[in-house]
Amino acid sequence: MGRLDGRIAIVTGAGSGIGRATAALLAAEGAAVVAADIDAKGGEAVAAAIGDAGGRATFVRCDVTSAVDARAAVDTAVATYGGLDILVNNAGILRRADILGLSEDDWDRTMAVNVKSVYLLSRAAIPVMSARGGGAIVNTGSGWGVSGGPKAAAYCASKGAVVNLTKAMAIDHGPARIRVNCVCPGDTDTPMLRQEADDLGITIGEVLASSQTRPLGRVGTPDDIARAILWLASDEAGWVTGSILLVDGGGLAGG
């Protein structure tokens, strides 16, 4: 028996990286998954891969900054599988710049994708979860939402907002038996990390080598983060809400 047998989940940003790994793992544990992403090619590919592996998944194109698309993702879960039990607010972007080098458009886009999306998807999902007697929301934050980093002003601000929004939501919706938690990854080997290296003018090899200074001596993998999300979404974390779980190889242990 899978840990999520009979559950229905939405994963945003499911087309690549942490979202792809999470969608696949939740499905492997028995959940029916709505893979939501603005990237149709990536989202359709992960849904197809889940189906090929014997799981249940459907793709929905979703601009997470759109209230209409957020509602459509939830409606797809209800229409296709009968409800919604788990929401993983994972979609995110990163622009590497301090505030002097950051355009207003990049600030607005980062806050919309990283923070407004959590509000929009959760607002659509919570009434459905409440009607089913509860559920679990897992938000993807960042180590830089707990401790700031260089040349990432908008990203740090957005992920700090996700961390505190998680706590506020846990307080507000705990009486409806909806648990809300946040996983905060450190550097994880995803397309976003590789794009970040390009933005900084360094090689991905240099980024990966820097991970050797961490206590566990390596960069994270999408599966590392997906396993943490699975735990927070499962009944094994049934008395856990409002928590911020660092999954960073010990990178912030001394901070």
What's the chain's average pLDDT?
A: 95
Tokens 């990203």, located at residue: 155
pLDDT (0 to 100) of residue 212? 78
Q: What would the pLDDT profile of 103-138 be if each residue is shown by its tens digit?
A: 999 999 999 999 999 999 999 999 999 999 999 999
pLDDT (0 to 100) of residue 82? 98
Spatial distance between the Cα atoms of 213 and 58, rounded to a whole number of angstroms: 40
Tokens of 135: 């559920």
Q: How many CA atoms lie within 13 A of 34 on its CB side?
A: 33
Cα→Cα distances 126→21, 27, 42, 66, 111, Å:
24, 21, 27, 17, 21
The pLDDT-based confidence of 189 (bands split at 50, 70, 90) is: confident
The total of other beta-carbon atoms located within 10 Å of residue 54's CB is 8
pLDDT (0 to 100) of residue 105? 98
Q: What does the DSSP assignment read for 96-128?
A: ---TTT--HHHHHHHHIIIIIHHHHHHHHHHHH
Give the range among 149-163, 173-187, 193-207 with minimum mean pLDDT.
193-207
Spatial distance between the Cα atoms of 82 and 56, rounded to a whole number of angstroms: 13
**Residue 1 pLDDT > 70, yes or no?**
no
Arithmetic mean of pLDDT, 177-194: 90
Tokens of 193: 């990390």
* End-to-end CA, the chain: 40
What percentage of the chain reaches a pLDDT higher than 70? 98
pLDDT (0 to 100) of residue 229? 98
Q: What would the pLDDT profile of 197-254 be if each residue is shown by its tens digit?
A: 677 677 777 777 777 788 999 889 999 999 999 999 999 999 999 999 999 999 999 8
Tokens of 108: 């607005």
Tell me the catalytic residues.
155
Q: How many CA atoms lie within 13 A of 115 on its CB side?
A: 19
CATH topology of domain 8-188+221-246: Rossmann fold (3.40.50)
Cα→Cα distances 8→35, 90, 130, Å:
11, 16, 14
**Residue 192 pLDDT > 90, yes or no?**
no
Show the CA angle centred on residue 228, arms to residues 6 and 22, nearest 5°: 60
Strands in the chain per DSSP E: 8-12, 32-37, 56-61, 86-89, 135-140, 178-185, 244-247
pLDDT (0 to 100) of residue 213? 83
pLDDT (0 to 100) of residue 148? 92
Q: Is 46 left (phi over 0), alpha (psi -120 to 50) or beta?
A: alpha
Q: Is 242 left (phi over 0), alpha (psi -120 to 50) or beta?
A: left
Show the CA angle centred on residue 235, arms to residues 233 and 236, nearest 5°: 95
Q: How many CA atoms lie within 13 A of 96 on its CB side?
A: 13
